[in-house]
Each structure stands twice: as structure tokens, then as C-alpha cells.
Structure 1
Amino acid sequence: MPRGAVRETGRKTAGASLIWSLILLAAPFLSFSPGAALPWGVGAALLMGVFPAVLVSYLQRRDDLRRLPPSSLPPAVLGAAALAFMFQRIILWLQGPLTLSAAVFALLAAAVVLLIANAFTSWSWLDLTLGAGAVILGTTAALLLPGLPGTAAGILVAGVLAAVLAVRVRQGNPSRHLAAGAAGAAAGGGIFLWLLSYA
């Protein structure tokens, strides 16, 4: 892969990883007190958001990463999804925050959608993440802050992520970016909201 393409892929992976890290960091605060929620959020964000992206970036720079078939998940997403399955067991075993479990399931749902979609086309993990993040982070901000400030914060967060997606829609293949973002909002965001109602 050309060096410029690797750099661009790295930027997209870093952007998606940052959004999922924020989602995983914030989710436990919806069901646990701040003192109990912080270790869960930091651990989840580092394990599933930061670690896979850093590892893949390191391996790509050393040219030690084997290429995967076009229909496969990107390596960072594959790593995050594998770790998500293990982390779900930890949440259940230690009776962790169910809202964090909802966020982890949202990540898995978005990854499954990407896996299926990329068997037929080439969607971007960043586009799916922006769609899911607009729903999840917008809802989380609205629930964490009471009253009007929470509503305003939720709208602002969702609006910023939607605006980033809108910028991407104007580049390259607009329908592909839009479809991926909508699928991320429906799958990742939808699963999160559904599970949140039971948490």
C-alpha cells in the first residue's frame, strides 16, 4: 500500500477509535456513580478503542501486517470486535455497568454491518462510527446532564458528528458515505438505545 494511503487509513482509523473510546468511556456513567464508572470506562476505552488502533498502526509502519481479503473487516475493527466479545464476559462476570455492555454491543453491531456490507461494496468504518456516535454520544450527553443543558449538549455533540459526516458525504462517493453513516446510526445507535432501555 502506498505511504500516502497508509497515512490516510491511519487518520480514519484514529478518528473512529477516538469516537468509540469516548463512547466506551462515557457509557458506564449512565448506570454507575462516577467513582465506580471511571475504571470501567477508562479500561474499556483503552482496551477496545486505543489498543487495536495503536497496535495496527505500529504493525503497518513496520510493514508486518498481512493483507486481508477486501470483504474482511479492517484489522483495527477486527481486533476491537474480538476484544469486545471478551470484555462482555468480564462485564457479566464482575457485574459491571450494563450501559457499558450496551455500548460494546453497539460496537459489535456496527462491525457486523461493516463485515456484511464490505462483502458487496467498500464502506468506511469512520462513516459507520460517525453515524453510531451521533446517536450514542448525543443520547449519553443528554442523559448525563439534567434539563436544558443536557438537551443542548446532546444536540451539539450529535450535530458536530453529523457535520463531520456531511463533509465526508461531499467527498468521493456521497451515497456510499451517507449509506454507511445511516447504517451506523441504525445498527450501532439503535442497538445502544434498545439495550439502554433495559439497563
Structure 2
Amino acid sequence: MPHGAVRETARTMVGAALIWSLVLLAAPFLSFAPGAALPWGVGAALLMGVFPAVLVFWLERRNDLRRLPPSSLPPTVLGTAALAFMFQRIILWLQGPLALSAAVFALLAAAVVLLIANAFTSWSWLDLSLGAGAVILGVTTALLLPGLWGSLAGILAGAVPAVSLAVRLRHGSPRTRLAAGAAGAAAGGGIFLWLLAYAS
């Protein structure tokens, strides 16, 4: 793989991992008090946000990444989705924070959209993650911080991924990136908002 492609793949993995780590870290605080929410958030962020990206990056560096059966999902997304499905069962079994369950379902919804879309085109996991993150992080921040300052913080938290996506529109195919970001916002963000309405 050319050096530029390796750097782009690494940037995509790190960026998507950061977005979903922040989403999963913050979501439990919508359901639980801070002391109970923190272990859930840290555990979810490390397991589904950080671990798959680090593992895939390490395996690729060693040239030891086994080829999986044909799939339009990158290895990082496959691993993240598998861990998300298992973690969902843990949340339900241990009666964990339902807002975190909503965030995990949002991640799975974004992965399913990527799986379907990449059978016909080539979308980036980072673009979908930025779209979903703009909705989820904006809403989560606004709900966690009351009043006007919370609303302003929510707008800022949602604007950062949105601006990052806008910057990425200048590279590659703008329409493809915009479509992926919009799909991430609709699928990931929409599922999160829908399930969050039942999580309180």
C-alpha cells in the first residue's frame, strides 16, 4: 500500500475512533449519576472506540491482518460492530445506562449503512462517523449542560465534527463525502435520538 494511502487509512481509523470514543464516553451520563456513569463510559470508549483501531493498526504494521470473507466493511468497522453487539448484551444483562445502549445502537446503525452503501459506492467510515457525531455530541452536550451555556456548548460540540467533515469535502469526491456524512447523521444520529426518547 502506498505511503499516502497508509497515512489516510490511519487518519480515518484514528478520527473515527475518537468520534465514537467521545460519543460512548458521554452517553452514560444522560442515564446515570457521574460516579456510576464514568466506568460505563470509559469501558465502552476503550472497548469499542480505541481497542479495534489499535488492534487493526498493530496487525497491519506487522503485515499480519488476516483477510476476512468478502465484505464492504473495513476490518476496524467489523471489529467495532462485533464488540458493539456483545457490549449491547452486557448493558441489557447488567441493566446498564440506556442512553449508552442508544449510542451503541447508533454505532451499529452507521456500520449497517456503510455495509449497504459500500456494495454500490465507496464511503469512508470517518465521514459517516463525523455526521453521526455532529448530531449525537451536539445533543448530548446540550442535555448534559443546562441553560443557555449548555445550548451554546451543544452547538459547538456539534459544529466541530460538522466543520471537520466540511474540510474533508475539499479532498476526494465532495458529493460522496457529503452523502456519507448525511447518512451518518440520519442513521446514527436519528437512531440515537429515537432511542434516547425511551431511555429517560
TM bucket by the smaller chain?
over 0.9
Matched residue, 2:44: 44
Matched residue, 1:181: 181
- How many residue pairs match? The answer is 199
> Which piece of structure 1 moves more, 62-71 or 30-39?
62-71
Gaps of 5+ in 2: none
Gaps of 5+ in 1: none
For the 8 Å contact 1:70–1:119, the answer to whether it is kept is no
AA paired with 1:157?
A
Matched residue, 1:17: 17
* CA-CA distance at 1:11 after TM superposition: 1.1
* CA-CA distance at 1:68 after TM superposition: 5.2
Matched residue, 1:91: 91
How many percent of aligned residue pairs carry the same amino acid? 83
For the 8 Å contact 1:71–1:120, the answer to whether it is kept is no
Matched residue, 1:101: 101
How high is the TM-score relative to the length of structure 1?
0.97
For 1:77 and 1:128, the matched residues in 2 are separated by: 11
For 1:71 and 1:183, the matched residues in 2 are separated by: 19
Matched, 1:59 2:20: no
Matched residue, 1:156: 156
For the 8 Å contact 1:132–1:189, the answer to whether it is kept is yes
For the 8 Å contact 1:70–1:118, the answer to whether it is kept is no
AA paired with 1:181?
G
Matched residue, 1:143: 143
> Which piece of structure 1 moves more, 66-75 or 94-103?
66-75
For 2:71 and 2:173, the matched residues in 1 are separated by: 18
AA paired with 2:190?
G
* CA-CA distance at 1:179 after TM superposition: 0.1
